[in-house]
Structure 1
Amino acid sequence: MARLGFRTGEMRTLVSVLFFLAIFSCAAAYDPLDPNGNITVKWDIMSWTPDGYVAAVTVNNFQMYRHIMSPGWTLGWTWARREVIWAAVGAEATEQGDCSRFKGNVPHCCKKTPTFVDLLPGVPYNQQFTNCCKGGVLSAWGQDPSTAVSSFQLSVGSAGTTNRTVRLPRNFTLLGPGTGSDSKMLSVVEDDAKRKGNGLPLLQCTRHMCPVRVHWHVMLNYKEYWRVKVSITNFNYQMNYTHWTLVMQHPNFNNVTQVFSFDYKPLIAYSSINDTGMFYGMKFFNDRLVQAGEFGFVQSEMLLQKDKNTFTLREGWAFPRKVYFNGDECQFPPPDVYPFLPNSAQKILLSFSALISSFFFLFIAI
């Protein structure tokens, strides 16, 4: 379980302007493959009401390969005063709280610490808002920027106050599987067990006891090219990995010639280095890992051109340097179990094929 912490600090200066925009941004702990990744919550006051204001709340996922999977995001915060939420469009509170002091017109939510979730697709238009109502599946920015944003609108009232002043909420918390790790500002929790039921997630009994296995298989070694097969297997009976992402770092990714069965996008974190790629399933073909075990897998092959000045298959060079599945870094095997391959002799290479084809060398650690 990845757990991160975020505290905005209370805005103590009262604001009495007609339009106010606040952005709470969190940069996840430094990741060399995504140095600028962050999640931003924007609190935008659109207009004033007799006892409060109307705000548009927007969540942007600017992380390149970490997304929020089903059942989606949950956004919460703590009010600075005794604010209540009269109405919500595009999202809804998970609990109403104690609204007993109100008679007749009852607020949507009276909790000091409200929690909101996205609405499902297909809700009536009068309940929708821009970029709302997708059930919470918030894509990674690198995978699909158009679906890496979610918004909703709130009508906020300040109990006992009628002047146009506002204090910003504090202690923003974003909950959702696959959102990242080690942030200093935004709280992100990955807890499939809590969302799927009591107890630990149910895994198929394997020797590695990991929910996902990534298998890299060196298939063929041509004179100017080499061919690799990548397979991802799901061993978690309770988890459907929807719109998964696979990120790998390898020195030869600057010469990727063709990728089959997966969508591929280079991730160039630094302008002079192109050694990292993001892979994800093709829509309606292999974009989900929906079952555990023998048939719960997706796979692809890729063709890479050799750089004759630097290329070698010696001492583990054929395997990636880093691998992430859904933003979680994979656990590599010990260095002494890597197979050692010849550099050029095709005949000798074939003698190693049986070893390579059965060598599952990457296990995801969650």
Structure 2
Amino acid sequence: MDIGLDMGEGGELIWATAGARTKEQGDCSRFKGNIPASCKKDPQVVDLPRKTPYSMQVANCCRGGVISTGIQDPANSASSFQLSVGRSGTTKKTVLLPKHFTLTAPGAGYACGAAKVVRPTRFISPDGRRMTQALMTWNVTCTSTQFLVRKTPTCCVALSAFYDETVADCPLCACGCHTRPTQPGRGCAEKDESGFARSVQCTPHMCPVRVHWHVKRDIGKYWRVGVTVTNFNYQKNYSEWNLGIQHPNFNNNLARAFGLNYKSLSDDTGMLWGIKRYNGLLREAGRFGHAQGELLFRKKDPSTFTLHKGWAFPRRVYFNGDSCAMPPPDAYPQLTTSV
């Protein structure tokens, strides 16, 4: 994870950093003694590893470029760092807001807005008897959007049900088309190939991740869904992965999740993620490259409950915030008789 910014028009520079590091120093030749950490007008700041020496840390820093969602792990959902900026003055008139923020992280791209001045941050002294405040505080909001970095999805969805032998698999070439490599490290890899650096396993959909939603036979007042997440990437593990599921009446009817954590986000959207030290780490493609669980739904009103017209299937599925390619509606498993 790294952050880029424009220091403004005042000739500001970064004297020192804590909890992060500038990627380039730039031209600091005019300084003879104390050399700044960065003299670049558009510096990039990167996160530090978790095992960074304490002398280089600040509170809540050094996540190794990985932060969790606030729902999955609140204690590790923020990362902080500190910059000592010079040549910016000491008044609200001389301190200029940085411009052109960029946020780079694994997965989706991010679009950042302009810095906005907000109420100054307040600090309480260690003894709790005195409070001071910052000269100025500003916020920058960055929004995730996968289409900034790629035009194709990074995941896909397969649908199946107990009442139909047909499996609505991921769309053909959902994440790219099958190519056999002629050079090391390119194209896709078969399971038993070892002559080049493996990447994504060769599949008709060519997606690094597939989510399989299987409707199981109902039991009395309940109906069940099996969820399996499969990693087809030979070179990447997914730690603290999560799924976003949009489904009609999803949160009103869900009774329990087995083998997965669950949190309601809205009336028709829920979030699922793995259990630590069980399936919280989605390992690279191969024998252990999958995670699975089961959802138990209530039939609140048996007289109106139906499996017809694809009601049991999700509208949208998201893996780590990326929207997954869904099968076309006419490929969904069809219920032809009463069950």
TM-score by length of 2: 0.71
Q: Does 1:313 align with 2:307?
A: yes
Contact 1:175 1:187 in 2 (8 A): no
Post-superposition shift, 1:199? 6.3
**Structure 1 segments (4+ residues) deviating >4 Å:** 161-164, 179-185, 187-192, 197-201
Contact 1:204 1:293 in 2 (8 A): no
User: CA-to-partner distance for each residue in 1:207-258, whole Å, 9 max, x for gaps?
Assistant: 1111111101112212211111000001112222121110111224212111
Contact 1:314 1:343 in 2 (8 A): no
Instruction: Please name the residue that 1:338 is paired with.
Output: 332
Identical columns (%):
53
CA distance in 2, matches of 1:182, 1:169: 16
Q: Does 1:323 align with 2:317?
A: yes
User: CA-to-partner distance for each residue in 1:111-134, whole Å, 9 max, x for gaps?
Assistant: 111111111112222211121011
CA distance in 1, matches of 2:273, 2:110: 20
Which residue of 192, 209, 213 corresponds with 1:212?
209
CA distance in 2, matches of 1:283, 1:179: 24
Q: Does 1:140 align with 2:133?
A: no
Q: Does 1:245 align with 2:242?
A: yes
Which residue of 87, 96, 99 corresponds with 2:25?
96
Contact 2:6 2:98 in 1 (8 A): yes
CA distance in 2, matches of 1:339, 1:183: 41
Contact 1:90 1:132 in 2 (8 A): yes
Q: Does 1:281 align with 2:274?
A: yes
Contact 1:96 1:109 in 2 (8 A): yes
Instruction: Please name the residue that 2:258 is paired with.
Output: 260
Task: Kindly report the root-mean-square deviation, in angstroms, between the aligned alpha carbons of the 2 structures.
Answer: 2.5
User: CA-to-partner distance for each residue in 1:262-310, whole Å, 9 max, x for gaps?
Assistant: 1111112xxxxx2211001111221121211453110001111113253
Q: Does 1:221 align with 2:218?
A: yes
Contact 2:103 2:111 in 1 (8 A): no
Contact 1:252 1:306 in 2 (8 A): no
Cα 1:220–1:285, aligned 2, differ >3 Å: closer, same or farther? Answer: same
Aligned residues: 262
User: CA-to-partner distance for each residue in 1:68-124, whole Å, 9 max, x for gaps?
Assistant: xxxxx2111011132111111111111111111110211111111111111111222
Q: Does 1:108 align with 2:37?
A: yes
Instruction: Please name the residue that 2:4 is paired with.
Output: 76
CA distance in 1, matches of 2:334, 2:52: 57
Q: Secondary structure at the match of 1:88?
A: strand
Cα 1:341–1:182, aligned 2, differ >3 Å: closer, same or farther? Answer: farther
Bigger RCO of structures 1 and 2 (CA < 8 A, at least 6 apart)? 1
Which structure 1 residue ranges, 5 or more long, are not aligned? 1-72, 269-273, 346-366
Which structure 2 residue ranges, 5 or more long, are not aligned? 115-141, 155-183, 189-198
Q: Does 1:169 align with 2:98?
A: yes
CA distance in 1, matches of 2:63, 2:240: 14
- AA partner of residue 205 (structure 1): C
CA distance in 1, matches of 2:143, 2:244: 23
Instruction: Please name the residue that 2:133 is paired with.
Output: none
Q: Secondary structure at the match of 2:201?
A: coil
TM-score by length of 1: 0.66
